[in-house]
Amino acid sequence: PNARLQIYFLDNEDYFKRKTLFHDENEKWFDDNALRTVLFCKGALETVKKFGWPPDIIHCSGWMTGLIPMYIKCAYKKEPVFSNCKVIYTIGQNTYKEKMGKEFAKLATINANIKDCDIQMYSDGSNTAMFRGGATYADAITFGAEKVDKKLTEEFTKVKGKKVLQFNAESDLTDYLQLYADLSAE
């Protein structure tokens, strides 16, 4: 109740001003989705860095934010604004079958702090790879849908050293509030 919440919108007319999100009207995957993903993730973190407001927690949700946990832990690891930041990553339903393309790993490597081993799990740019990467680098994981890829559910339900919240369709947010409190106290 006494916390300030700041919200910003990141936009670029060339990449985001479209009638549909990731597919055209004929269900064809946009060729620039990989670039749009990198632009979105890097742009969000650069905005935080520029304003100099250190976040306590960044909560990433969905495949398009999958690079952010890795960027914080690798690309921005020396940035004071992110030094105490905790990351929660929410895994959702698979929403696309396509892959981002062969150049995705190269495109997503935004600086020399990212090593091949950091970007490797993202290399095919698949929906599952984006979820796996985001969850691997996050401090805590939540499941944002009832029907999540079974392999991901099994892989991340019992991860040691991370707090994991299963999907809860109820409106009781007690577990989420506790997760935020626990991460803030670390």
pLDDT at 1: 55
Residue 7 belongs to some domain of the structure: no
Residue 8 belongs to some domain of the structure: no
Contact 148, 96 (CB under 8 A): no
pLDDT at 94: 82
Residue 75 belongs to some domain of the structure: yes
Q: How far apart are CA 102 and CA 95, in angstroms?
A: 20
**Domain tally for the chain?**
1
* CATH code assigned at 163: 3.40.50.2000
Domain range for 136 is 15-185
| 26 to 5, 21, 23, 29, 66: CA distances (angstroms) | 38, 12, 7, 9, 26
pLDDT per residue, tens digit, the chain (186 aa), is: 567 777 777 777 776 777 767 777 888 877 888 998 999 999 999 999 999 989 999 999 999 999 999 999 999 999 999 999 999 999 998 878 889 888 899 999 999 999 999 999 898 899 999 999 999 999 999 998 888 888 888 888 877 788 988 888 777 788 999 999 999 998
Residue 2 belongs to some domain of the structure: no
CB atoms near residue 155 (< 10 Å): 16
Residue 9 belongs to some domain of the structure: no
pLDDT at 155: 84
Residue 133 belongs to some domain of the structure: yes
pLDDT at 97: 87
Residue 30 makes CB contacts below 8 A (sequence gap 6+) with: 18, 22, 23, 24, 36
Q: How far apart are CA 180 and CA 174, in angstroms?
A: 10
Q: How far apart are CA 124 and CA 66, in angstroms?
A: 13
pLDDT at 141: 95
